[in-house]
């Protein structure tokens, strides 16, 4: 498929609960895909409501209600970010998830029908089941527009919000599902949420114009890092599920002043490793410099859909230490990684020390990482998803 081919899809409405802006870096993996859709000359309109509750009480940056994002080839994507209210998603006497869904739906519908006055949408694409896919499916049925959603959740939490039966009912009639992993596909099937025939696995991917192996010493010089240090990189939210606390415990246990650490991200667990040389958030396209400057990538995560940070590390040619659980099976094997029980600090320690002491193993896994990363280039993923959508777009839309 190339730009010259006649696509059925000219106008796409994307519904997501977060999209990057100049003020907040969130869901960059969604933007990478949409940027590539735009390169196929698809007009992409993103509806990404922002929670006033989170702005007021949690200090989230306030995005403009309308703004543009421009991809590397100069294609503009219009983003609409209306306000809505959210409440805690913990189930008590009242299931506040129903209120959150109603509020999200109301904000999306207002923009969708405003756009629909002048734009004929060929397809609706949603990210995550709750609330985006549920709302997208309602709009699909009411307007006879094919609808697809990406299932990238790291657990069943978006199914649990409303329960299996209610979620299944609200997703009935979906034209297709883009699952980011075989494990996620299995979860949908095992819970009888979506028929297997409607699900296709497309692991997450990287923009290889941004994430590629750079000269390590030049990257270190640029960032002001010492040439002779052994540098370990972590990229992810600073939360327990990502394992930043276990990683810091491990590094403090090793207590080797020659092992320096980079922690890219934010969250409620502050890294406490004394030999940290960087901590905080940066622009997404800057991460490649930090990864290229590193010797290994460590993510002791306990749950993933398909981890973009791991794929980005592979593309920069550095060995990965991460979980041996099945959610990593599509992107990691022995050729590029050491897979461990990430709840076991001693296993994390052994893996780090093994790579620290064995340069030949590091070089072997580095070569394997670059080879593995070739499977996960964003242009190929975008092409595959478009072909999947184009091939199934004529599926009957069930009426409500």
SS3 at position 48: coil
**Tens-digit pLDDT profile for residues 275-298:** 999 999 998 899 999 999 999 999
Percent of the chain at pLDDT > 90 equals: 88
DSSP 34-91: HHHHHHTT-EEEEE--EEHHHHHHH-PPPPPSEEEEE-TTS-EEEEE--EE-------
What is the separation of C-alpha 269 from the centre of its chain, rounded to a whole number of angstroms?
20
Q: What is the second-level CATH architecture of the domain 216-376?
A: 3-Layer(aba) Sandwich (3.40)
Q: Could you tell me the two tokens for 137?
A: 């499916």
| pLDDT at residue 395 is higher than 90 | no
Mean pLDDT rounded to a whole number for the chain:
94
3-state helix/strand/coil string of 164-219: HHHHHHHCCCCCEEEECCHHHHHHHHHCCCCCHHHEEECCCCECCCCCCCCCHHHH
pLDDT at 1 over 60: no
Confidence tier at 400 by pLDDT (50, 70, 90): very low
**Helix (H) / strand (E) containing 277:** strand 276-280
Render 101-160 in DSSP notation, one character per residue: HHHHHHHHHHHHHHHHTT---SEEEEESIIIIIHHHHHHHHHHT--EEEEE--SSSHHHH
Q: Are 333 and 311 spatial neighbours (Cβ–Cβ below 8 Å)?
A: no
Contact 301, 243 (CB under 8 A): yes
pLDDT, tens digit, 9 for 90 and up, residues 43-78: 999 999 999 998 998 888 999 999 999 999 999 999
Contacts of 358-362 with C-beta under 8 Å, sequence gap 24+, read 361/319, 362/295, 362/296, 362/319
Q: Do domains 11-205+378-392 and 216-376 have the same CATH topology?
A: yes
- Show Cβ contacts of residue 107 under 8 Å, excluding neighbours closer than 6 positions: 49, 82, 83, 84
Residue 351: its H or E element? helix 345-357
Tell me the pLDDT tens digit for each residue of 26-46: 888 899 999 999 999 999 999
pLDDT in tens, 165-201: 999 999 999 999 999 999 999 999 999 999 999 999 9
Q: Which residue has the tokens 């609330």?
A: 131
Instruction: Give the count of alpha carbons within 13 A of 98, CB side only.
Output: 8
Separation between Cα atoms, residue 248 and residue 255, nearest integer Å: 10
Q: What is the CA radius of gyration of the chain?
A: 21
CA distance 334 to 324: 10
Higher-confidence position of 23 and 263: 263
Bridge-based pairing of strands 76-80 and 66-70 is antiparallel
* pTM metric for this prediction: 0.89
pLDDT of residue 344 exceeding 50: yes
Which are the contacts of 255, defined by CB distance < 8 A and separation ≥ 6?
none
Q: Please check whether residue 332 is in contact with residue 322, taking contact to mean a CB–CB distance below 8 angstroms.
A: yes
What residues contact 392, with CB distance under 8 A and at least 6 apart? 146, 175, 176, 198
State residue 301 phi and psi, 5-degree precision. -75, 150
Checking phi first, is residue 172 left (phi over 0); if not, alpha (psi -120 to 50) or beta?
beta
Q: If we measure between CA atoms, which residue out of 239, 208, 125 comes closest to residue 376?
A: 208
Residue 8: pLDDT band (50, 70, 90) is confident
Residue 310 has pLDDT above 80, yes or no: yes
- From the candidate CATH numbers 3.30.300.30, 3.40.640.10, 3.10.105.10, 3.40.50.2000, the one assigned to the domain spanning 11-205+378-392: 3.40.50.2000
C-alpha dihedral, 316 to 23 to 269 to 152, nearest 10°: -60
- Range from 51-60, 195-204, 356-365, 370-379 carrying the lowest mean pLDDT: 51-60
Specify the residue for token string 């020390």.
353
252 falls in which pLDDT band (50, 70, 90)?
very high
Q: Give the mean pLDDT of 153-158.
A: 93
- Give me 122's structure tokens: 């060929």
Q: What is the mean pLDDT of the segment spanning 226-251?
A: 97
Residue percentage of the chain with pLDDT more than 70: 96
Domain boundaries, the chain: 11-205+378-392, 216-376
Contacts of 247 (CB under 8 A, 6+ apart): 234, 273, 298, 300, 348
3-state secondary structure of 339: strand
Q: What is the rounded CA–CA span in Å between residue 271 and residue 262?
A: 10
Angle at which helix 134-143 crosses helix 96-116, to 10 degrees, equals 40
């Amino acid at each position: 498929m190339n730009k010259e081919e006649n696509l059925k899809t000219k106008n796409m409405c994307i519904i997501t609960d977060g999209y990057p802006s100049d003020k907040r870096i969130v869901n960059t993996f969604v933007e990478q895909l949409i940027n590539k859709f735009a390169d196929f000359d698809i007009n992409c309109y993103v509806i990404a409501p922002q929670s006033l509750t989170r702005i007021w009480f949690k200090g989230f940056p306030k995005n403009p209600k309308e703004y543009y994002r421009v991809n590397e080839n100069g294609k503009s994507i219009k983003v609409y970010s209306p306000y809505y209210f959210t409440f805690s998603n913990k189930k008590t006497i009242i299931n506040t998830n129903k209120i959150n869904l109603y509020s999200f739906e109301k904000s999306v519908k207002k923009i969708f029908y405003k756009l629909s006055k002048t734009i004929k949408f060929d397809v609706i694409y949603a990210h995550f089941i709750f609330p985006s896919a549920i709302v997208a499916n309602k709009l699909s049925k009411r307007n006879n527009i094919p609808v697809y959603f990406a299932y990238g959740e790291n657990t069943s939490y978006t199914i649990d919000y409303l329960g299996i039966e209610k979620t299944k009912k609200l997703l009935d009639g979906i034209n297709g599902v883009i699952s980011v992993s075989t494990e996620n596909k299995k979860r949908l099937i095992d819970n009888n949420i979506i028929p297997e025939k409607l699900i296709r696995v497309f692991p997450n991917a990287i923009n290889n114009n941004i994430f590629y192996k750079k000269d390590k010493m030049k990257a270190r010089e640029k960032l002001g890092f010492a040439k002779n240090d052994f540098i370990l990189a972590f990229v992810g939210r600073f939360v327990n599920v990502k394992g930043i606390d276990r990683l810091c415990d491990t590094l403090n246990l090793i207590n080797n002043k020659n092992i320096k650490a980079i922690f890219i991200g934010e969250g409620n667990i502050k890294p406490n490793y004394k030999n940290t040389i960087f901590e905080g958030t940066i622009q997404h396209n800057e991460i490649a410099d930090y990864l290229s400057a590193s010797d290994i990538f460590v993510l002791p995560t306990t749950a993933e859909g398909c981890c973009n940070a791991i794929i980005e590390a592979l593309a920069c040619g550095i060995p990965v230490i991460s979980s041996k659980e099945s959610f990593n099976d599509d992107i990691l094997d022995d050729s590029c990684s050491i897979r461990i029980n990430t709840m076991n600090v001693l296993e994390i320690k052994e893996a780090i020390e093994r790579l620290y002491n064995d340069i030949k193993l590091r070089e072997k896994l580095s070569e394997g990482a670059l080879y593995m990363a070739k499977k996960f280039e964003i242009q190929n993923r975008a092409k595959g998803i478009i072909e999947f959508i184009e091939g199934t777009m004529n599926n009957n839309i069930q009426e409500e």
